[in-house]
Structure 1
Amino acid sequence: MKSRSIAAVFVACLLFVAPLSARDTRTPPAHPPGAAIASAHELATDAGFETLRAGGNAFDAAIAVSAVLSVVEPISSGLGGGGFFLLHDAKTGKDVFVDAREMSPASATPERYLKPDGEFDRDRAINGPWAAGIPGLPAAFVHVAQKYGKLPLSTSLAPAIRIARDGFPVYARFARGYRQRSEVMERYPGTREVFLAGGAAPKEGELFRQPDLARTLQLLADEGFDGFYRGEVGAKLVAGVNAEGGQWTADELAAYTVKERDPIRLRYRDWDIVTAPPPSSGGIALAQMLQILEGWKLQELDEPLRVHLVTESMRRAFRDRTFYLGDPDFVKVPQRLLTSADYAAGLRATINPAKATPSDLLSGEQTPLEDDETTHFSIIDADGNRAAVTQTVNLLFGSGLVPPGTGVLLNNEMDDFALKPGTPNAFGVMGFDANAPQPGKRMLSSMTPTFMQSADRVVVLGTPGGSRIITMVLLGILGYDAGLDAQAVAALPRYHHQWMPDVIEAESGAFTPQVAQALQALGHTLKLPGDEAAGGRGSSHVWGNLQTVEWDLSDNVLHGGSDPRNPVGKAAVEAVGAGKR
């Protein structure tokens, strides 16, 4: 991928994008001219269109895309994980956030994740039975189909069942990820049955079949919730976890519930933004960062100053994430205060445009305030319904544990709790009491599916990337605000700051040497690709897998953008459904 600096992109926008005011007087079209889907795998995008052609809407297509990703991207997500479905019903104008985040088993107390000497047991937190929360994604399929879809679940799940049964070609990222996690995955007999079925590890280009997962999906299609959370599959899930030393119960598996929550809404310049509420941390962080940044005309600034200000907004939002955010069913999240314009103005006042703020100067004490992992897809259908869905099993191939006979690779989301207060998780972010595990509690997430709408554009976007999800979505929003189209937004260079550790991370090509030097002169510490040669950890070469679609109201055309960092992703537009309302 040929990298371009953000400065060059913004300048191009200023030169070639027509002023919004010249187009705002047109009457917006009532419906899109078809449908647009962008996902991380072409088979999933194709499944979405197959479901639309069968008479489904965006919500049926979301189930189809999600289920196929669960089959072809076990590296990133699956039935053994969870996700967030941000949905927009065009007929009613209603936005809803469907929370299918995993839940903590009752047995998973913080003491379970400590070694005898009191040190944190990282292996137990990310590998095997104690790493897994109760899955939520299958329940989301049932909920969305029954409440928002037009088709039976059996129709929406048919592509995933077919692909699990017949197989799909192993791609490079899949094979590479398995090599990285093979030592853990090959601990467990159920996992070996799936991933070593041919006698050797999956190789690029080989056909990968999952007959047990096909059967599990079929039972879910035939029996709904009970087909996964009770009966044959439920019994095998509990038995498989407990055989490896875990302590799940049939009752807590069957007690899993999807939650519907009100999304976070905010205004940024000319955009109405709808995004994820807790237990996602993304929406509150976005509201803080965008309202802080609204105090400057970013497009008029030189690149080092713009990056400096964006970074300082990231630093402050992640500091608040650490202390105040958790499952709103268990802790009082001060959402109204954290998302208020007045609070953002106060944070803005602490930013020095000429100097970086060391993170240790932002209080590390609680105050009286009260990349490859994960996947995302975006859909707009011909009626204007929208779906932004981010789903995950957390790290590469989740916990590595497949309970025998299920084909279900379980998540390792328990590491997203503050299992030991103040100890960073696998993504380097910390938490305290607000995000401590409790029976039935949902762990904090960074997943941030988002809608944007202005006078002439409707946008759906999101990305995987652990704690970097939030900042990648922020950069995507700023890119759309600068006038970029969907594919240009998906290709934007990326950088990130999360309060602690106090460094700016960036992928290859994000900064020119001159910009990097200017940021260092402002007092920032940078972690760039190649720094590991000098004794540091370095930064990943590329990040994320952003998938976005947009409806241009001025010309009534649809566009899709699929991250060029991922060669198997696909964004497509079809006329399916147009004229059939």
Structure 2
Amino acid sequence: MARPTTWRRRAAAGAWLLLLLALAPAQAQAQAQRQMVAAAHPMAAEAGMAMLRAGGTAVDAAIATQAMLGLVEPQSSGLGGGALALHWDAATRQLSAWDGREVAPAAAPPNLFLKDGQPMGFLAAAIGGRAVGVPGTMRMLEALHQAQGRLPWAELFAPAIAAAEKGFEVSPRLAALIAQEAAHLQQDREARALFLPDGKPLAAGATLRNPAYAATLRAIAEQGAEALHRGPIAAEIAAAIRAHPNPGLMTTDDLAGYAPKRREALCGPYRGVTVCGFPPPSSGGATVLQILGILSHQNLADLDPRGLDAAHLLGEAGRIAFADRNRYLADADQVPVPLRGLLDPTYLLIRAQLLDRDRALAEPRAGNPPWQAGPPPASQPPQPESGTSHVSIVDAAGDVLALTTTVEDLFGARLMVRGFFLNNELTDFSFLPEVNGRPVANRVGPGKRPRSSMSPTIVFGADGQPMLVLGSAGGSRIIGHVAQTLVAVLDWGMEPQAAVSLPRVGALNAGLELEAGTAAAGLAPALEARGFPVELRTMTSGLHVIRILRGPEGVRLQGGADPRREGVALAD
């Protein structure tokens, strides 16, 4: 019997975003031979390109891009959040993973999100100080700049400072999200003054100036990331968090003690290339590699990318991988994570054998990977994840950078300090510290990094050179967005713009989501008949992809920006 048709009840959800998508201009694929920036807003991509044209590196461009994103796309990322970056140094042929993920305050208890023994509602937990993690974006980018930057640090903030002081035109997407979140933004004095002047949400086309953000950037330009982590700004951050009616536990000592980490990228084979992603605390790299490892046993090349069988295989591989993700993946600095076992080829072959091309699994369950340290933890119950932005960059020297950056939910904690929003990233922890008496790996803990789904990805060809750089926004949906895009390019031979424009199909935990308002939605009845629990969703994926082609005439770059958002790929 087919499962209940939840997709019919959800088909109308997010209609206003579908309208914005319909009104958005079609994206033309960017082409270049030298350097490229693909980011979620034209002004952000322009800021990055300005650094490249001034002789800067991919890292210089990323910092300028992030500074501008915090101004023009404040709902998704910024100074008050966290970020993960993969960086390829062409000169040394070295790949590194830079972890700027937020951490829980030293006083955070496992029951942070329990009330009377029960999990809090998501918004009750997310809005205010309780869920604010110690931000890490700027300290991570500063460390990356010290290792790989060329331009002076202060120069990287000049475009965003100028735009914050002069003002910029509010985009249709930002205006729609301000209106959507007006009731929450209204509760914060600084956010209310900035986004709801005269009590009304800013309309598209209005000029938005943020002098407080300009002042904060000037402090960072002069003092480095320490301006956020020590001194008056840090004191104001901690005070705002602890004074909120839904207070948090962060102190100035937590802010001062934050340190980014340089990690080893997580890589695996697929169709003769090497796909590299981010290790824990992100679940993105491992879960994408699991999906690809399961799909590697299927012949995808002959399938219609928009067809039923392709959707079936993408969805089922994702559902199987998510079952493992929800049990095992967490901050590996604090809990045992059996990464070696989860990505072991024999284990992935066993998992791949669960996939039936005619029928969906009734209930995908976590497997039992080898090389576990101790008994397996309990599986984490599903909970919301959203927000985020992604930047892909290739510079003239051949350096490559994939940066995924976030404040978690829309406008983070809806708590603004000195012109920027604080994150609500601690909601990425499990609200339940244990299930049936067994601990959840991703439970809250002091100084612990919450599990992420961010999936900055760099793909290397058989020659060992980077051939693809990508990532996405979308909370836990990031994993499916990135996996589908990789299959589109590597199996179906699509160019980047076609791949990011493809109707979204992907698993979310045990369910299968199809992009509403696209051809994918028409597959719902047939997929339900195969046993999938199907839901139609508006997908604002925010993919940004650069493909690097090498031939007798040299290097050629192709870029794709997601038409569901306002991003562009700019190039020389």
Give the TM-score range, shorter chain.
Answer: 0.7 to 0.9
Map Cα deviations across residues 362-401 of structure 1 (whole Å, 9 max, x no partner). 679x994579721101001111100101101111111100
1:497 aligns with 2:507: yes
**Residue matched to 2:9:** none
Please state whether the residue corresponding to 2:276 is helix, strand or coil: strand
Q: Alpha-carbon deviation of 1:300?
A: 2.2
Contact residue 551 and residue 557 of structure 1 kept, 8 A: yes
Equivalents in 2 of 1:285, 1:484: separation in Å? 23
**Residue type at the aligned position of 1:483:** G
1:386 aligns with 2:400: yes
Higher strand fraction: Structure 1 or Structure 2?
A: 2
Structure-to-structure mapping, 1:43-62, within 5 angstroms: 43-62=43-62
**Residue matched to 1:570:** 568
**Residue matched to 2:413:** 399
Q: Alpha-carbon deviation of 1:301?
A: 3.9
Map Cα deviations across residues 154-185 of structure 1 (whole Å, 9 max, x no partner). 01111111122222111111111112222222
Map Cα deviations across residues 118-154 of structure 1 (whole Å, 9 max, x no partner). 4524334210111211111111221121111011210
**Residue matched to 1:26:** none
Q: Alpha-carbon deviation of 1:274?
A: 1.2
Contact residue 474 and residue 540 of structure 2 kept, 8 A: yes
Equivalents in 2 of 1:361, 1:250: separation in Å? 42
1:361–1:96 Cα change, 3 Å: closer
1:432–1:447 Cα change, 3 Å: farther
Map Cα deviations across residues 290-332 of structure 1 (whole Å, 9 max, x no partner). 1111111112246323322221110111001111111111111
**Residue type at the aligned position of 1:545:** G
Equivalents in 2 of 1:205, 1:436: separation in Å? 43
1:247–1:432 Cα change, 3 Å: same
Contact residue 292 and residue 345 of structure 1 kept, 8 A: yes
Q: Alpha-carbon deviation of 1:444?
A: 0.4
Contact residue 514 and residue 521 of structure 2 kept, 8 A: no
**Residue matched to 1:281:** 283
Contact residue 393 and residue 410 of structure 1 kept, 8 A: yes
Structure-to-structure mapping, 1:37-116, within 5 angstroms: 37-116=37-116
Equivalents in 2 of 1:150, 1:362: separation in Å? 46
Map Cα deviations across residues 466-490 of structure 1 (whole Å, 9 max, x no partner). 1110010001100111211111112
1:512–1:497 Cα change, 3 Å: closer
Map Cα deviations across residues 472-527 of structure 1 (whole Å, 9 max, x no partner). 00011001112111111121111121333x344433324274x4443233222322
- Could you tell which deviates more after superposition, 386-395 or 155-164? 155-164
Structure-to-structure mapping, 1:316-395, within 5 angstroms: 316-359=320-363, 368-369=375-376, 373-395=387-409
**Residue type at the aligned position of 1:487:** Q
**Residue type at the aligned position of 1:266:** G
**Residue matched to 2:486:** 477
**Residue matched to 2:544:** 547
Equivalents in 2 of 1:459, 1:363: separation in Å? 31
TM norm structure 1: 0.85
Contact residue 432 and residue 440 of structure 2 kept, 8 A: no
Contact residue 320 and residue 365 of structure 2 kept, 8 A: no
**Residue type at the aligned position of 2:401:** A
- The total of aligned residue pairs comes to 522
- Could you tell which deviates more after superposition, 219-228 or 41-50? 219-228
Contact residue 323 and residue 432 of structure 1 kept, 8 A: no
Contact residue 462 and residue 547 of structure 1 kept, 8 A: yes
1:522 aligns with 2:524: no
Equivalents in 1 of 2:198, 2:206: separation in Å? 10
Q: Alpha-carbon deviation of 1:351?
A: 1.9
1:506 aligns with 2:505: no
Q: Alpha-carbon deviation of 1:232?
A: 1.7
Equivalents in 2 of 1:362, 1:324: separation in Å? 9
Contact residue 127 and residue 400 of structure 1 kept, 8 A: yes
**Residue type at the aligned position of 1:115:** K
**Residue type at the aligned position of 1:379:** I
Equivalents in 2 of 1:361, 1:155: separation in Å? 51
1:109–1:512 Cα change, 3 Å: closer
Superposition RMSD in Å: 2.4
- Could you tell which deviates more after superposition, 343-352 or 550-559? 550-559
* Gap regions ≥5 residues in structure 1: 3-31, 424-430, 529-538, 575-581
**Residue matched to 2:449:** 442
- Could you tell which deviates more after superposition, 545-554 or 468-477? 545-554
Equivalents in 2 of 1:180, 1:59: separation in Å? 34
1:432–1:70 Cα change, 3 Å: farther
Contact residue 495 and residue 510 of structure 1 kept, 8 A: no
1:305 aligns with 2:309: yes
1:252 aligns with 2:254: yes
Map Cα deviations across residues 431-478 of structure 1 (whole Å, 9 max, x no partner). 962111111111001100101122587111111011110010001100
1:174 aligns with 2:174: yes
Contact residue 97 and residue 264 of structure 2 kept, 8 A: yes
**Residue matched to 2:432:** 420
Q: Alpha-carbon deviation of 1:549?
A: 1.0
Equivalents in 1 of 2:567, 2:91: separation in Å? 30
Q: Alpha-carbon deviation of 1:53?
A: 1.7
Equivalents in 2 of 1:285, 1:119: separation in Å? 26
Contact residue 505 and residue 512 of structure 2 kept, 8 A: no
1:512–1:415 Cα change, 3 Å: closer
Contact residue 418 and residue 432 of structure 1 kept, 8 A: no
1:91–1:117 Cα change, 3 Å: closer
**Residue matched to 1:290:** 292
**Residue matched to 2:559:** 560
Equivalents in 2 of 1:124, 1:414: separation in Å? 13
Please state whether the residue corresponding to 1:285 is helix, strand or coil: helix
Q: Alpha-carbon deviation of 1:271?
A: 1.6
**Residue matched to 2:146:** 146
Equivalents in 2 of 1:407, 1:419: separation in Å? 30
